[in-house]
Amino acid sequence: MARVLLVDDDPAIREVLSAYLRQEGYEVVEAADGLEALGKIPQASLVVLDLMLPRLSGWEVARELRRDYPELPVLMLTAKGEEEERIRGLDLGADDYVTKPFSPREVVARVRALLRRSGLKAELAFGELVIRPREREAYLAGEPLALSKLEFDLLLTLAQHPRLVWSRERLLERVWGTDFPGVDRVVDVHIAGLRKKLGEDGDNPRYIETVRGVGYRFQEE
C-alpha cells in the first residue's frame, strides 16, 4: 500500500484530503509544519507539500527532500495565480502542482498518476536482503523479517543511500522525528536489534557498518 505524506498547516485541508486519499486505498501520514514533515519523509511513497508552512518553509523541505530522496515524488500545493511560486517549486524538484482552492478529487488523481509513473524502486535488493518500500516489507534469504516500524524505517533510510555515512543525530531526526527528545544511545539500541534480526556478525557486519566516532552506513555486498 502506498503511503502519502500530507504536509499542510491547515487542519481542514488535511482532514478533507486525508479522507479522500484513504477512500482511494492510500495510507496517509500527516504533518502540520516543515520540521515535522522532515521527520516523516522516510515513511512516504509520495509527498503532498504545501509551500507556506510554519517552522520550516515548503521550499526548505523540498530542498532537503530532493537532496536525500531524489526519486520521491512530490505534489506541490500553491496559491492561485502565483506563477513564480510554481516555477520555483518545479525548479526545486516538485513533480507536479495543484493550485488552491482545489478539488480533492483532482489531488487524488494527480497522486495516482505520480505514483504510476514514479521512479521509486519497488524493490531494493542486496544479495539475500530484499526490501520492498511500498509494502513496508523486508526479506532475508526469502524469509520475511519481523521488523518494528522504527526498525524498518531505520533499515530503509540506510539502504536507500548505500555508503553514505549517517550520524546518530541525523538518524534521530530522520527516523524518530525532530521533536523526539531522545539521545544517541536510542539509535545504537535499535541498530543492535536490527543487526540481530539481519543475522549480522558484530565483528564483521554484512550490511550495517559502524563508522567510529560518527555513526553508521549501509554497505552493499
| 205: CATH | 1.10.10.10
- State whether 112 and 7 are in the same domain: yes
Q: What is the pLDDT of residue 81?
A: 61
Q: What is the pLDDT of residue 170?
A: 83
- State whether 108 and 162 are in the same domain: no
Q: What is the pLDDT of residue 121?
A: 61
Q: What is the pLDDT of residue 181?
A: 61
Last residue of a domain, one of 118, 138, 154: 118
Q: What is the pLDDT of residue 182?
A: 61
Q: What is the pLDDT of residue 82?
A: 65
Q: What is the pLDDT of residue 63?
A: 87
- State whether 164 and 198 are in the same domain: yes
Domain limits at 54?
3-118
Does the pTM surpass 0.75? The reply is no
Nearest to 74 by CA among 19, 114, 28, 103: 114
Q: What is the pLDDT of residue 20?
A: 96
- State whether 59 and 163 are in the same domain: no
Give the number of domains in the chain: 2
Q: What is the pLDDT of residue 197?
A: 94
Q: What is the pLDDT of residue 216?
A: 93
Last residue of a domain, one of 53, 86, 118: 118
- The Cα–Cα gap between 78 and 105 comes to 16
**Is the Cβ–Cβ distance between 196 and 190 less than 8 Å?**
no
**pLDDT-flagged residues of the chain (< 50):** none
Q: Which amino acid is at 18?
A: S
Q: What is the pLDDT of residue 8?
A: 96
| 54: CATH | 3.40.50.2300
Indicate the angle between helix axes 104-117 and 11-23, nearest 10 degrees. 60
- State whether 129 and 201 are in the same domain: yes
- The Cα–Cα gap between 39 and 47 comes to 13
Q: What is the pLDDT of residue 133?
A: 81
- The Cα–Cα gap between 15 and 10 comes to 9
The number of angstroms, rounded, from the C-alpha of 144 to the middle of its chain's C-alpha atoms is: 22
- State whether 140 and 65 are in the same domain: no
- State whether 7 and 110 are in the same domain: yes
Last residue of a domain, one of 86, 118, 150: 118
Note the pLDDT tens digit of each residue in 182-195. Answer: 666 889 999 999 99
Q: What is the pLDDT of residue 179?
A: 58
**Quick one: cell of 76?**
506541490
- State whether 141 and 60 are in the same domain: no
- State whether 112 and 9 are in the same domain: yes
- State whether 196 and 110 are in the same domain: no
- State whether 107 and 166 are in the same domain: no
Owner of C-alpha cell 531505520? 154
- State whether 19 and 59 are in the same domain: yes
- Long-range CB contacts (< 8 A, 24+ apart) of 89-96? 89/51, 89/58, 89/59, 89/62, 92/59, 92/62, 92/63, 92/66, 93/62, 93/65, 93/66, 94/49, 94/62
